[in-house]
Amino acid sequence: MAIGFALRAKQSQPDATERELVSAIRAGDDAAFEELFSRYRRRISAYVFAAVRDHGRAEDITQEVFISALRRLRATEQPISFKPWIYAIAKNACIDEFRRTGRCSEVSLDAEGETEALASRLSSPEPTPDMVAESRERLSDLRGALQGLSENQHRILVMRELEGLSYVDIGERLGMSREMVESTLFRARKRLNAEFTELESGQRCRRVRAAIDRSEAGSVTTLGTRERRQVSRHLAHCHACRRHAWMAGFDPSSLKRRGIAEKLGALLPIAWW
């Protein structure tokens, strides 16, 4: 059931900057909030729907996001950049929904606007089968790319992109300097982009299948340690390559018996079922 919250999408301040609108909201101007609502409602709704895959819940959560945003804006004078701030609230709302329902989430990190771009493409209330299939593939690639990060890189990305922590807060939590946090985050984003590009282009699939085909009678002993690790990580999320492995007589479970376990970790906002 949708909660009782409706805002008129006024266009009374179409030329105002987001910073000006935030200041006006904090001064008690409801019309300023309605303007921000009209600018972001469609995008946030598409973003949430991409996560929860339920139109009713997406509507409820979207309204809850904006209610929370209004309450927080008027509770503090802390400077904010509205766009990443409202998306962070939406991410956390989706995560709370996953925890409440007991559903496992696969959440993409919005390191370079990937999530918003996907949400825009899913803004139609009834995504076509082709759109859904393509989005599933891209999310699978993002999940695989995240697996390519080191544990420390993954942890810092989660803290920054999902939890919205500052560099200083991350440093205090991990016992690192601000400079080290910035450096690690830069390398993590760069590696994530490289991993994703390789997966999306199909290069990773071709390399993994070539390694499988080179193995003797499906034996992992013919693969080097690094190659086994890469193959194991890739097969953990790529259904097509797992099928290729089985058809080639290569048992993916043999990689796990050698102690090479993939770490999926907490992924950042989007679940598919």
Summarised one tens digit per residue, pLDDT across range 29-65 is 888 888 898 899 888 888 888 777 777 788 888 888 9
d(CA 48, CA 269): 8
pLDDT at 193: 79
Please enumerate in sequence order all residues whose Cβ is within 8 A of that of 86, keeping only pairs 6 or more positions apart, or say none: 40, 44, 65, 69
Q: Where are the domains of the chain?
A: 18-103, 129-257
CA distances 229 to 64, 137, 157, 208, 267, Å, are: 42, 22, 22, 11, 20
pLDDT surpassing 90 at residue 85: yes
Counting residues of the chain whose pLDDT is more than 90, the rounded percentage is: 10
Correct CATH for 129-257 of 1.20.1260.10, 3.30.420.10, 1.20.120.520, 1.10.10.10: 1.10.10.10
pTM of this structure: 0.39
Count CA within 13 A, CB hemisphere, residue 133. Answer: 3
Q: Average of pLDDT values for 113-137?
A: 51
Tokens 């996560």 correspond to: 51
Identify which has the larger pLDDT, 181 or 131. 181
Whether domain 18-103 has CATH 1.10.1740.10: yes
Q: Average of pLDDT values for 221-229?
A: 69
d(CA 188, CA 185): 5
pLDDT at 22: 93
pLDDT at 21: 92
Q: Average of pLDDT values for 4-19?
A: 55
pLDDT surpassing 80 at residue 118: no
Average pLDDT for the chain? 72
Classified as helix, coil or strand, 206 is helix
